[in-house]
Each structure stands twice: as C-alpha cells, then as structure tokens.
Amino acid sequence: MTEKKTGADGGANRRAYGRVVAKFGTNLLTAGTDQLDIETMTELVRQVAALRERGVDVIVVTSGSIAAGRHRLAGSKYETSRQVLASVGQSHLMHIYDGLFAAHDLVAAQTLLTRRDLADRVGYLNARNTLLALLDLGAVPVVNENDAVALDEIEDVRIGDNDNLSALVTNLIDADLLAILTDTGGLHTADPRREPDAELISLVEAITPEVEALADDASTPHGVGGMITKLQAAKLAIAGGADVVIAGGHEGNLLERLVGGEPAGTLFRSSADRVESRKRWMLAGLAARGKIVVDAGAAEALTARGKSLLPAGVREVSGSFDRGDTVPIYDQDGHRFAIGITNYGRGDAERICGMRSDRIAEVLGHEYGEELVHRNNLVLL
C-alpha cells in the first residue's frame, strides 16, 4: 500500500531517531562526474558532525572507491579490475573522509566488510563489537564493502552493492533509521530521470510487488545499485525493525531533518518490533550446537528480568560449540527455554562456569565480555 503524498501528511508519526546508518551512493558523492566531489562530501560530513553533536550515533556506509580509483588511474596503460580500482580508490576516499571529519574534531574509522564476515557468526560478533566500540568512543565508522577481496565470481563472498550492505549494517548494530541518500530523491511513480512528470511517493507501508514494479530501472553508469537494490535493502532493514528513508542527498540539511522526524524522500516504515525481529533475523538459519545448563537464579534472571547470562549462573556446558555459535540454554529440569549466541567456546565456557565475571580475564588470560551470552544475542523460546 502506498500513499502518494508529499509534505507534512506523508511524514505523520515519523519518529525521532537515535542511531542512524547514512548511505552515500557513488552518484551522490561524485555529483554525477567521474571523480569525488569534495563540496558534496564536505556538506555530507558537516551534517553527520551536526548529528553527532546532538548525541545521535551515525554510521556512514560509503561508495565511491571504484569511481575514485578509476579517476586516479585514468590514462594508465594497464587494464584494471574492479578490485584494483577499489584498492586504489578506497585509500583516497578515506583520506578525504579523514580530513573532513577531523575538521569537526571527529575521528573517522574505516571498516571494510564482506558478506562472509557477516554470515560467519564470529565475524558477525566481531564486526558488531567493533562498530559499537567505535560509536562508544564517539568515532564515526565509515563502512564500505571490501571490494579488493570480494570477487565477483564468488557469490557468497560479495554483497555486490552498498544498498544491501547498508541494510546488513543497520541490522548488525540495531540502528533505528537507515537513510539511503541518492541523487534521485526517493521512490517515484516512474524513473524521474526519464519522466519529468514522475511523482515522489512519500510513504510506503509495505513493499508489495506493485511497489517493486516501480523500481524497474537500470543501474546508473557509475554506481552499482539502482532502485531495485534500494528496495531490497529497505525490505531487509524494515524486517529488522528499522525505518528506512530513500531521499535526495543534495537536499539541504537532509540528515538533520530526517533524524528530527521531518518528512523527506520516501519513508518505509517498519512495523516490526525492533529488538525481537532483529533477534529473529540474527538467529534465522543458524544451527544450534552444544548445551548450556543454568541454575534457577539465572533462569529467572533471563526469563523474568531481561538479564544477560553470566558465567556465574551456569551449572554445566556440554557438546561442542565455538565462540559465536548458537547454543540452546536449559534449566535444571531439562527444559530448553532460550537460545543465544555465545561469547565463549565450549572450552572457555567450561573453565569459567560458575565463576564471577571479574575473574574471566585472570582464568582465561583473555576476555570477550562479562557475559557468556549477551541479552541482545538471546531469544527466549
């Protein structure tokens, strides 16, 4: 169901957001040219800095490395691959972000991901922990796909477009808004580059086949994604519980306005419960391994008080599992009442079982956090 409204009505009930993933596409960053457009980047960084100033967590997902690499190597006599272009361009891209953020006293932190990093459970936890630690520090993570190693031929390695990457990152760090900034301004009734009468759709309640048919466009010359990948990304992020906006990155103060709940572009509103749906997404398809048995106090803390599972409450661990695996949690009566992603593998878990968390580092010689299973990585059955 769609509403073709613009202005205040289309934006009714927009919520204010505290953690935002802002995705900048190649066509936006190059302003349609064949090289990075410093003026555009300066303005986008200024807006990110303004949000940080207001206490909003912002993660940037940026494209532009391939375009930047292509420009840098222009005239080179060698035939180059996408991977090579990305390697050359990524450092140039980060150099620019680094300088622009530094001008606002902010630290930019490059994070390069592939599909495999996120599908692998340890990689998933590590990526999540790193991004959350960067946010805690007040840094601005600047994420791109690791194109240098993500080969086209290997399907399960490559995400392929930064729209989908931005949705994966949104779910990874529980953002409540994914803002996909483009040069086209949102989802229209037709492709606005070809049909000037195309109208902006300001609110999409559900991504139906009818909505998907509107996105039947070709990829643009410099970027990879078109509206099709943006809709795929919107689907993934709203299923994870975040709202998604696709809007024109050149609109003044766009990010600040969006975060304040003002309407712009096309809003895809999530109807899913944020935390629970994220957990479903996270745990979907992961095979459970091993077994953790907890005492009555821990079972009560988990089921009635929304707490994490600490080693102190664990009576027994069995089976084989690694850090990052999904492990079922049992009470002492043998009821499986929860499932969670463990921070410690079987060997470590056995050694810290029944202990206070402040002894973990001393006993193991390393520490991955005070919880055996963090609340965010736990689902009650």
Q: Which residues bind ligand GLU (CB under 6 A)?
A: 25-26, 63-67, 86, 144-145, 147, 161-162, 223-225
Please say which residue, 82 or 250, places its beta carbon nearer to ligand GLU. Answer: 82
Q: Hey, which residues does 288 pair with through a beta bridge?
A: 326
State the nearest-atom distance from the C-beta of 312 to ligand GLU, in Å: 44
Please say which residue, 2 or 63, places its beta carbon nearer to ligand GLU. Answer: 63
State the nearest-atom distance from the C-beta of 367 to ligand GLU, in Å: 34
Please say which residue, 67 or 353, places its beta carbon nearer to ligand GLU. Answer: 67
Q: Identify the CA nearest to 179 among candidates 256, 96, 127, 107.
A: 256
Query: Residues 146-151: contacts with CB within 8 Å, 24+ apart?
Result: 146/112, 146/113, 146/114, 146/117, 147/65, 147/66, 147/82, 147/83, 147/86, 147/87, 147/90, 148/83, 148/84, 148/86, 148/87, 148/90, 149/83, 149/114, 150/83, 150/114, 150/115, 151/83
Please say which residue, 235 or 278, places its beta carbon nearer to ligand GLU. Answer: 235
State the nearest-atom distance from the C-beta of 346 to ligand GLU, in Å: 37
Asked if 63 contacts 24 with a C-beta cutoff of 8 angstroms, the reply is yes
Please say which residue, 112 or 373, places its beta carbon nearer to ligand GLU. Answer: 112
Secondary structure letter of residue 240 according to DSSP = T
State the nearest-atom distance from the C-beta of 325 to ligand GLU, in Å: 30
φ, ψ at 161 (rounded to 5°):
-145, 150
State the nearest-atom distance from the C-beta of 66 to ligand GLU, in Å: 3
State the nearest-atom distance from the C-beta of 378 to ligand GLU, in Å: 33
One-letter amino acid at 344 equals Y
Q: What order do you get walking across the sheet with 378-380 strand by strand?
A: 314-318, 291-294, 326-330, 336-341, 378-380
State the nearest-atom distance from the C-beta of 218 to ligand GLU, in Å: 14
Please say which residue, 70 or 278, places its beta carbon nearer to ligand GLU. Answer: 70
Please say which residue, 87 or 342, places its beta carbon nearer to ligand GLU. Answer: 87
